[in-house]
Amino acid sequence: MLAKRIIPCLDVRDGRVVKGVNFAGLKDVNDPVTLARFYNEQGADELVFYDITASAEDRGLFTDILEAVASEVFIPLTVGGGINEVSDFERVLNCGADKVSVNSGAIRNPQLIEAGAKRYGSQCVVLSIDVRKVDGQWHVFAKGGREDTGLDALEWIKKGEALGAGELVINSMDTDGVKQGFDLPLLTAVSEITTLPIVASGGAGNSEDFYHLFQLPNIEAGLAASIFHYGEVKIPDLKRQLAEKAIPMRIV
């Protein structure tokens, strides 16, 4: 069985890592380069870097900050924010990214997924989806969670897989920053309709939340931010606790 992955997330705005609750009330946390170095040393399996206002501000991702972050990590780095053209893939890959996360750009132009997969391989294309329940249905949100697209999240996942995405990041807006556990009903529904590896994001509050997460099929990674940023959960301790419960982990 493949080892499960623990992934810290750097949500970057104006050159600083920020974190909020339910995608709102963002507060300053730290310098992204400092945090990237810390997580590399802590034994994180991967790192995610999101320029969270690039799409809403209709601009490209800040590559100078990305290059500085990439220079500090020797683990896979997934990068997203303002990815609208295939040329954006090349730009962030040249800055040190290993995988490219598409979200709002793919909603506007689904063929971006197919074009990226054909040029760089499906393993490079991560479909990141911001999901919130609206009137009993899981909707896809765009522009950093600001815009309800009306798209059914499960149907969008099926389409993204068919177009060539190699991995999913499921960001639950309902549980984001709440620290009461991952959105297990949403993740269960997703795992039932796709064969892609799933990275779960939103809601982690303690090590038990990761244990419950990894009981679900197709969930290969747990992504979190604030509990790692504020030292509430330490990655080496988390991995050790999960390994003791027979969850396969990569221990550094």
- Beta bridge partner(s), residue 223: 7, 201
Other residues' Cβ atoms within 10 Å of the Cβ of residue 215: 10
Told to judge if 14 belongs to the known catalytic residues of this protein, a careful annotator would answer no
Selecting among 11, 45, 88, 183, the annotated active-site residue is 11
Query: Residues with Cβ < 8 Å from 168, sequence gap 6 or more?
Result: 126, 127, 128, 129, 157, 160, 161, 190, 194, 196, 197, 198, 199
Told to judge if 130 belongs to the known catalytic residues of this protein, a careful annotator would answer yes
| Neighbouring C-alpha atoms within 13 Å toward the C-beta of 94 | 10
Selecting among 51, 88, 130, 183, the annotated active-site residue is 130
Q: How far apart, in whole angstroms, are the C-alpha atoms of residue 159 and residue 142?
A: 16
- Beta bridge partner(s), residue 105: none
For residues 3-28, one letter each, b for 16 or more C-beta atoms within 10 angstroms of the residue's C-beta and e for the rest, the string is ebbbbbbbbbbeebbbbbeebeebee
Q: For residue 198, which amino acid is it?
A: I
Query: Roughly how many angstroms between the first and final C-alpha of the chain, as a whole number?
Result: 18
Give CA separation, 55 vs 13, 66, 135, 165, in Å.
12, 16, 26, 20
DSSP for residue 250: -
Q: Hey, which residues are catalytic here?
A: 11, 130
